[in-house]
Amino acid sequence: MREMDKENKYLKAKERVEEIKKFYTSLLSYVVVISMLAAVNYYIDQWSYMWFLWAAFGWGIGLIFQAVKVFGLNPFFGKDWEERKIKEYMREDERGDRWE
């Protein structure tokens, strides 16, 4: 049984590392592509209209959501909110209270 626990912990840790790796890859792609778009924007019209900011803003919002998911920065539910709710519903079910 202990071996299974170690394997489960290893798999969860490996999964978490993969998510963090994907985030940093996305962040690096963001910096490179937005920098290139900014350079093209400057080359074309010397930033008289900074259209590259639209792409930076849109992609940046997606990147923020990815960071919230990966690093657990959810200000609404907290880190252990889900686990607390599961335990609460299990207690209600044991008492006979129906939450369905």
DSSP 14-71: HHHHHHHHHHHHHHHHHHHHHHHHHHHHHHHHTTSS-THHHHHHHHHHHHHHHHHHHH
* pLDDT exceeds cutoff 90 at 36: yes
Q: What is the pLDDT of residues 50-76, one digit of tens each?
A: 999 999 999 999 999 999 989 877 666
From 5-14, 39-48, 55-64, the region with the lowest mean pLDDT: 5-14
Which pLDDT does position 15 carry in this prediction?
92
DSSP strand E in 1-100: where? Answer: none
Distance of CA 75 to the CA centre of its chain: 13
**What pLDDT sits at residue 100?**
54
* pTM greater than 0.75 (yes/no): no
